Structure 1
Amino acid sequence: MLITVAIAVLCSACQTVPTAAQQAEKQAAAAAEQAKSEIAKAAAANYAADSTLIPFEKMNGKLTPVGEAQLDLLLPDLKTAKSIIIRGHCYRNDIGNAKAAAQARAAAVRQYLLMADIPSSKITVRFDTERPLHGVRLLVSN
């Protein structure tokens, strides 16, 4: 019995205690998972409100992670579409070079769709600076 107790004590002393680096890695993984969850929730909310409108930040032409996630939700329908019109929007009263911003937004979405293996022959790109809107509208015909 004394030997059993001695073995138990020795084994408990051998347990590894997580290092600070391991704890930091766990926290970073948890934070990344939470951020991913928040992005998915925002994309689902955008999709529910208007699935064909990909919002952009007012002064930006880059696709956001939320926009990418929303496009991912649309991909099954887009892959089977006969044609897709990508219309970039940027309100001319809000930004000095609204035309360039609208074109950059449409180009960002087009590039994302091309990377998702949607043929360029299906895609038409347009822009609009008349409406007070900052985003990209997708018009899909089956």
Structure 2
Amino acid sequence: MKRLLIALVVALSCAACKTVPSKEQVEASKAAAAADEAKAQIAKQAAANYAADATLVPFEKMSAKLNPVGEAQLDLLLPRLKTAKTILVRGHCYRRDIGNAKAASQSRAAAVRDYLQNAGIPSSKITVRYDTERPLHAARLVIGN
């Protein structure tokens, strides 16, 4: 009987020690779940872009900034790029859509070049060009082996 009473007291003590997550912990776990969901969406879109055309990195129409989907797509392409002898980065911006398409296309190519250099690809392998004739808002990589 004494052992049963001790077991009951220990069980009640353990039940009373159960921690309830604080409001901050609950919010932090929700934020982490949302961030994981966003990363999964970015990875899914990058994989779709890579499957459609691995060497075409899309940009927003009015932006020269590399977006997270473009960065993820370049990350998928990095193994091929690291073994390449030459890499031509051609920035595209359609001249009928944007007033200074030349500057925008050059900035897009430079953004991709900078990302590749930060990823460890030597600048001596990378050549930058621009194109304002095709109705694209992207950067195309031409990999020379």
Q: TM-score range by the shorter chain?
A: over 0.9
Unaligned runs of 5+ in 2: none
SS of aligned partner of 1:131: coil
Indicate the residue corresponding to 1:50 in structure 2: 53
Tell whether 2:16 aligns with 1:26: no
Residue type of the alignment partner of 1:52:
T
Aligned residues: 142
**TM-score, structure 2 length as denominator?**
0.96
**TM-score, structure 1 length as denominator?**
0.98
Deviations 1:31-78 (A, max 9, x none): 111111100000000000011100000000000000000000100000
Tell whether 2:61 aligns with 1:71: no
Tell whether 2:130 aligns with 1:127: yes
Indicate the residue corresponding to 2:96 in structure 1: 93
Unaligned runs of 5+ in 1: none
Tell me which structure has the larger Cα radius of gyration. Answer: 2
SS of aligned partner of 1:121: helix
Residue type of the alignment partner of 1:76:
P
Residue identity (%): 69
Residue type of the alignment partner of 1:71:
L
Q: What is the root-mean-square deviation of aligned Cα atoms in Å?
A: 0.6
